[in-house]
Amino acid sequence: MDFGPFLLLATMEGLVMAAVLALTAVGLSLVFGVMRVVNVAHGEFFMLGAVLAWFVTASVPGPPALGFAAALVVCPLIVGGIAALADRAILKRLDYDPEATIVATIGLLYIFQQAALSLYGPDARPVQAPFDWRLQFPWFGYSGYKLAVVAAAALLLLGVRQLLVRSRIGLVMRATQYDRETATAFGIDVDRVYALVFALGAALAAVAAVLIVPIQQAHYLMGGDPLLLSFIVVIIGGLGSLRGTVLAAVLIGLSDGIVSVFFSPTLAKILATLLVALVLVFRPQGLFGQRAA
């Protein structure tokens, strides 16, 4: 096979990774942008989504598409509910202090990992894709499900943008982000907004996990890479900038896919880390972030 088909395959694999990474990183960016909380447990919400997807699909009888559709609805709701409870029980009591919330979310990370290990076990388990249609190119066949993942992620990201820009809930979130005290003075329940934002960020990570788990098996330690890559994406794109987060996810996803195919996955991670270092040195606020006053 010539260079061109290899490049096409690498690009398509990179797009799949970029789509899932964008969903995960947008959830992390949203939480920081509105709440100013660095959620170190974000990768474990991703892991919980994948593990719950295995439980749901294994419990729903009938064709794989039915179980997968149930997981796509049920898992984000459960993970979002867990996140909202964690916000009310822990983060709210810490008054969302930046240093304290970092320590608290590290604690949540280990709690969720150990809970998954106890209830799910140490084994990696597959989830069957809802369909097995393949797109046939002259050089190779490619999974139609992977293309569906890209399309679904794009629609979800568009929905998040519409929620933030066009809806009353989005207006309240943006008002809370700009000035918490003024929002409170105008009668906005900031604590409820924070719980909603934390739940939404976790639910986006869970959706990403449900989408990717037919491609990658569910495992109780699978939250590490999504967390690391999400931080890389958010730093490059700019903390709190959803547009920058999506564009950075596409950049990292495509470069990771292409470099991994032609060289090695380790080199791809090294290049991503180097890019973060360059951004922090020459543009600390990120490519699309605003410089602090």
Computed over every residue of the chain, the mean pLDDT equals 87
Only one residue has tokens 């398509």, namely 12
Q: Residue 125: helix, strand or coil by DSSP? A: strand
- Is the pLDDT score of 152 beyond 70? yes
pLDDT number for residue 70: 94
| Residue 292 pLDDT exceeds 50 | no
For residue 219 the two structure tokens come to 């495992």
Write out the two tokens for 142. Answer: 């490619």
Q: What is the predicted pLDDT for the residue at 2?
A: 66
User: CA 168, CA 158: separation in Å to the nearest integer?
Assistant: 17
Is residue 279 classed exposed, middle or buried when 0-12, 13-18 and 19+ CB atoms within 10 A define those classes? Answer: buried
Measured distance CA(187)–CA(208) in Å, rounded: 34
Choose between 198 and 282: higher pLDDT.
198
